[in-house]
């Protein structure tokens, strides 16, 4: 089944409501690697729900997550071959650590790169509490590797942040765990690409890969450490582009500039996995 441009652009993604608990907030932080240093009290403020808990700003991407809606055959998308291309988060206020939340995700654009070249799908989610207070807006670009040539617009909708010049001002190495993707998918992102070796093989990978959004969480941790001394409320926005997959167990080195620019590479393969990154600290 091929993509029908108007149908996918107006695809109805159901509203999602979620009761967030302090334990959920702590689990998310654990799932992106915080708490590996049990003597770092700043990290404990994100993972110990008995403390004065802070929510990781990157948790906005999983709260009221709509699930793997692109595997619905009505979308016309080859769901096995899609990958996460870009992610942005705008924080309108610090995320809550508990309470009732509601969000609706919508498709905001589709770019046809041509037959055999795939397509780009742009989407947006607005995260609110039950009273309608807006906490965060998240924006995603999904690269549909198995699609293209359906006759849609061909010009990209957003331009990435420019690459930084010179040597980074700081670097942070954070090691992922071999089973980290299995933990992370319990946040609601249950794409089998991250758990099932057979699905990973069909997608062209030697083994399941880490969720791009888990990599984002690891990088957000590094940015918070360097630019905000673990003050979650200081992060106003974060944007990045995924350039290569991470395999669970690899070490992610985040290179950070004082301007807010950043990129990340896997140490073991010296492969850039995040580029065009930028964080706004206020």
Which secondary-structure segment (H or E) carries 275? strand 271-281
Q: Report the 10 Å Cβ neighbour count for 106.
A: 15
Whole-number CA gyration radius for the chain: 18
Kindly report the three-state secondary structure assignment for every residue of 51-98. Answer: CCCCCCHHHHHCCCCCCCHHHCHHHCCCCCCEEEEEEEEEECCCCCCC
**Mean pLDDT in runs of 10 for the chain (282 residues)?**
89 96 97 94 93 96 92 90 92 97 96 91 97 97 90 79 92 97 91 91 92 97 98 98 96 98 98 98 94
What's the CA gap between 259 and 135, in Å, rounded?
25
Determine the distance from the C-alpha atom of residue 84 to the mean position of all C-alpha atoms in its chain, rounded to a whole number.
8
The pLDDT, as a whole number, for residue 271 is 97
> Tokens at residue 277, please?
């990154």
- Quick check: helix, strand or coil at residue 118? strand
Give me the domains of the chain, ranges plus CATH numbers: 5-281 (3.10.129.10)
Question: Which residue's entry shows tokens 């905000």?
Answer: 228
């Amino acid at each position: 089944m091929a993509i029908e441009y108007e149908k996918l652009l107006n695809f109805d993604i159901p509203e999602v409501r979620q009761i967030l608990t302090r334990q959920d907030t702590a689990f998310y932080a654990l799932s992106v690697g915080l708490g590996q240093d049990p003597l770092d009290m700043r990290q404990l403020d994100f993972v110990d729900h008995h403390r004065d808990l802070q929510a990781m700003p990157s948790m906005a991407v999983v709260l009221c997550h709509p699930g793997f809606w692109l595997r619905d055959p009505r979308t016309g998308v080859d769901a096995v071959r899609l990958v996460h291309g870009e992610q942005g988060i705008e924080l309108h206020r610090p995320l809550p650590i508990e309470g009732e939340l509601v969000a609706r995700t919508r498709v905001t654009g589709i770019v046809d790169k041509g037959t055999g070249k795939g397509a780009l799908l742009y989407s947006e989610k607005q995260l609110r509490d039950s009273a309608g207070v807006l906490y965060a807006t998240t924006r995603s670009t999904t690269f549909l590797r198995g699609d293209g040539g359906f006759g849609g617009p061909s010009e990209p909708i957003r331009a990435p942040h420019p690459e930084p010049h010179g040597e980074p001002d700081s670097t942070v190495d954070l090691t992922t765990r071999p089973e980290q993707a299995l933990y992370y998918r319990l946040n609601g992102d249950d794409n089998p690409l991250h758990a099932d070796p057979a699905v990973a093989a069909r997608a062209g990978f030697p083994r399941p890969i880490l969720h791009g959004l888990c990599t984002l969480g690891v990088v957000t941790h590094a940015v918070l450490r360097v630019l905000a001394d673990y003050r979650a409320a200081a992060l106003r926005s974060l944007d990045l582009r995924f350039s290569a997959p991470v395999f669970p167990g690899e070490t992610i080195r985040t290179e950070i500039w004082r301007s807010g620019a950043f990129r990340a590479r896997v140490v073991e393969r010296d492969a850039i996995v995040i580029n065009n990154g930028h964080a706004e600290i206020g």
